[in-house]
């Protein structure tokens, strides 16, 4: 068992003037407390975290201290998740995406992953990425414009997954950056008020890292050689949290549901429950929102998780900052139990593709290695794409069957219109 690591980051101030009695946040090592300009603390409450990064910190510093251990572990088979949480314009996107001069967590993580996998010469790696957005409780694929409102499914083999989401197998960091660029372009597509949207949507950038030993260690050691490590890494830029603080989780009524960010409110509830004593863990409301359902294994489960809470230092944001620090304090009490995921079944893509790729390698022997890798990458992506397509069709068929049988069961009862409800419930 290990605790979720939680850091707070202050973005540089944009305030022009300070009044004499301005309240301001003071950082003492890993503690934060609220003071008046004259120096007196406003209350005795101070918050303690794993790290506190002040206004002068860079994304690089934050990455090295908070996120890098999660990335290194992901390469070795541990699931990992890093969130940025905070009110709008507190620096979440800056932290995750960064700038030209100060690349963000995602950029640094991608670079590190490819660097690490190149250093590990005795294992073969297969890395794939996806990029999705949750907007108004709908999941949209940022890598494929046609795929909107995707459903969440669960199977024994795959666990919880977003059906129909494009996954692209990648060989280099540059290929990933191209895909991210495509995702960002799709995110803005057709939106007139991009800022309003981005503050109400979550993005999940995901990398799945599979690896297996290149050669069997000895002919007798087949089981070890066959085991494939599979880890999922989620890098999440959350919606602005200010609405929760203003509405209060308890006072949210159904008709307002359209206007508040439901997933973020449920995330708060999930963190609250998880931070309570162990016995209440049985009733964690993961299924109440798409975000918490997708990230279920990362919250109170099998993953190494870090939360970067971004806050604005200005006096005008004191209440929002306090809300964020309270969320961060509760998150600090949550424990996870991460373990290396080794699987022997066909659930690993690396295993399913093994024969075809070996055949292709033999066929193309003697080719320039760069050409060979390109052909293999294309073959891998083609195979994976048709697999995902088959899976999607199978699920659509299954849904039609359920819908038909529900309709048949309701026929003559006057409740035919309930079928949609039942189909949704089955998801």
Q: Exactly one of 5, 79, 81, 88 binds ligand ADP (CB under 6 A); which one?
A: 88
CA 145 vs CA 175, 232, 278, 387, 413: distances in Å:
19, 23, 42, 19, 40
Number of residues that bind Mg ion (CB under 5 A): 2
**CA pair distance 375, 28, nearest whole angstrom:** 55
Q: Is 93 annotated as a binding residue?
A: yes
Tokens of 282: 């049985």
Work out whether 51 is an interface residue with ligand ADP (CB under 6 A): no
**CA pair distance 376, 255, nearest whole angstrom:** 52
Work out whether 324 is an interface residue with ligand ADP (CB under 6 A): no
Number of residues that bind ligand ADP (CB under 6 A): 13
Q: Is 86 annotated as a binding residue?
A: yes
Of 1, 2, 65, 9, nearest to 32 (Cα)? 9
Asked if residues 336 and 302 have their Cβ atoms less than 8 Å apart, the reply is yes
Site for ligand ADP in 198-257 (CB under 6 A): 199, 240
> Pick from ligand ADP, Mg ion, none: which does 90 bind, CB < 5 to 8 A by kind?
ligand ADP
Q: Exactly one of 12, 41, 216, 248 binds ligand ADP (CB under 6 A); which one?
A: 12
Q: Is 88 annotated as a binding residue?
A: yes
Work out whether 327 is an interface residue with ligand ADP (CB under 6 A): no
**CA pair distance 310, 327, nearest whole angstrom:** 11
Contact region with Mg ion (CB under 5 A), list: 87-95, 99-107, 319-327, 353-361: 87-95
C-beta of 93: minimal distance to Mg ion in Å?
3
Helical axes 419-426 vs 369-410, angle rounded to 10°: 140
**CA pair distance 397, 403, nearest whole angstrom:** 10
Asked if residues 34 and 43 have their Cβ atoms less than 8 Å apart, the reply is yes
**CA pair distance 22, 314, nearest whole angstrom:** 9
Contact region with Mg ion (CB under 5 A), list: 89-97, 136-144, 152-160, 257-265: 89-97
Of 210, 183, 245, nearest to 77 (Cα)? 210
Work out whether 93 is an interface residue with Mg ion (CB under 5 A): yes
Q: Is 92 annotated as a binding residue?
A: yes
> Pick from ligand ADP, Mg ion, none: which does 247 bind, CB < 5 to 8 A by kind?
none
Torsion angle in degrees (nearest 10) through CA of 387, 389, 390, 396:
150
Q: Exactly one of 94, 125, 135, 286 binds ligand ADP (CB under 6 A); which one?
A: 94
Q: Taking the CA atoms of 356, 358, 364 and 369 in sequence, report the sign of the dihedral they define.
A: positive
Q: Exactly one of 5, 67, 79, 93 binds ligand ADP (CB under 6 A); which one?
A: 93
Contact region with Mg ion (CB under 5 A), list: 93-101, 126-134, 202-210, 307-315: 93-101
- Residue 56 or 219: the one with the smaller Cβ distance to ligand ADP is 56
Comparing every residue's Cβ against ligand ADP, the nearest one is 91
**CA pair distance 236, 276, nearest whole angstrom:** 24
Tokens of 308: 């970067």
Q: Exactly one of 67, 90, 147, 261 binds ligand ADP (CB under 6 A); which one?
A: 90
Q: Regarding beta strands 123-135 and 168-170, do their DSSP bridges make them parallel or antiparallel, or are they unpaired?
A: antiparallel
**CA pair distance 262, 266, nearest whole angstrom:** 6
Q: Which helix (H) or strand (E) holds 304?
A: strand 304-311
Work out whether 81 is an interface residue with ligand ADP (CB under 6 A): no
Work out whether 117 is an interface residue with Mg ion (CB under 5 A): no
Contact region with ligand ADP (CB under 6 A), list: 89-97, 264-272, 381-389, 408-416: 89-97
> Pick from ligand ADP, Mg ion, none: which does 406 bind, CB < 5 to 8 A by kind?
none
- Residue 92 or 304: the one with the smaller Cβ distance to Mg ion is 92
Q: Is 89 annotated as a binding residue?
A: yes
- Residue 98 or 164: the one with the smaller Cβ distance to Mg ion is 98
CA 108 vs CA 61, 102, 117, 131, 248: distances in Å:
11, 10, 14, 17, 35
Binding residues for ATP are: 86-93
Binding residues are: 86-93
Give contact residues for ligand ADP (rule: CB under 6 A).
11-12, 86, 88-94, 199, 240, 310
Give contact residues for Mg ion (rule: CB under 5 A).
92-93
């Amino acid at each position: 068992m290990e605790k979720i690591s939680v850091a707070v980051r202050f973005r540089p101030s944009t305030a022009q003037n300070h009044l004499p009695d301005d309240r301001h946040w003071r950082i003492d090592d890993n503690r934060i407390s609220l003071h008046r300009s004259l120096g007196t603390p406003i209350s005795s409450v101070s918050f303690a975290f794993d790290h506190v990064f002040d206004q002068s910190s860079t994304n690089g510093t934050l990455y090295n201290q908070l996120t890098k251990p999660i990335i290194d572990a992901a390469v070795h088979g541990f699931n990992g998740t890093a969130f940025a949480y905070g009110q709008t314009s507190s620096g979440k996107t800056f932290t995750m995406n960064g700038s030209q001069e100060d690349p963000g967590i995602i950029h640094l993580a991608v670079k590190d992953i490819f660097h690490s996998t190149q250093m590990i010469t005795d294992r073969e790696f297969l890395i794939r990425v996806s990029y999705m957005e949750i907007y108004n409780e709908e999941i949209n694929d940022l890598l494929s414009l046609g795929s909107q409102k995707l459903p969440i499914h669960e199977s024994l083999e795959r666990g919880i997954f977003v059906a129909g989401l494009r996954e692209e197998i990648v060989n280099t960091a540059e290929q990933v950056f191209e895909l991210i660029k495509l995702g960002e372009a799709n995110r803005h597509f057709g939106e007139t008020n991009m800022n309003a949207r981005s503050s109400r949507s979550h993005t999940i950038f995901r990398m799945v890292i599979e690896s297996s030993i290149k050669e069997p260690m000895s002919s007798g050691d087949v089981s070890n050689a066959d085991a494939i490590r599979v880890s999922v890494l989620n890098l999440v830029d959350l919606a602005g949290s200010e609405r929760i603080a203003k509405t209060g989780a308890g006072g949210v009524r159904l008709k307002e549901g359209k206007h508040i960010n439901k997933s973020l409110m449920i995330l708060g509830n999930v963190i609250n429950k998880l931070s309570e004593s162990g016995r209440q863990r049985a009733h964690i409301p993961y299924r109440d929102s798409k975000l918490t359902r997708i990230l279920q294994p990362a919250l109170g489960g099998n993953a190494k998780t870090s939360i970067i809470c971004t806050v604005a230092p200005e006096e005008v944001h004191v209440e929002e900052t306090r809300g964020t620090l309270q969320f961060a304090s509760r998150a600090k009490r949550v424990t996870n139990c991460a373990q290396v995921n080794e699987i022997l079944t066909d659930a690993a893509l690396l295993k399913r593709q093994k024969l075809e790729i070996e055949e292709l390698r033999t066929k193309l022997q003697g080719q320039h290695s760069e050409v060979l890798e390109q052909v293999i990458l294309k073959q891998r992506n083609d195979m994976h794409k048709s697999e995902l397509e088959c899976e999607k069709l199978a699920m659509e068929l299954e849904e039609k069957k359920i819908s038909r049988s529900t309709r048949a069961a309701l026929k003559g009862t006057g409740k035919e219109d309930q079928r949609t409800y039942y189909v949704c419930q089955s998801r």
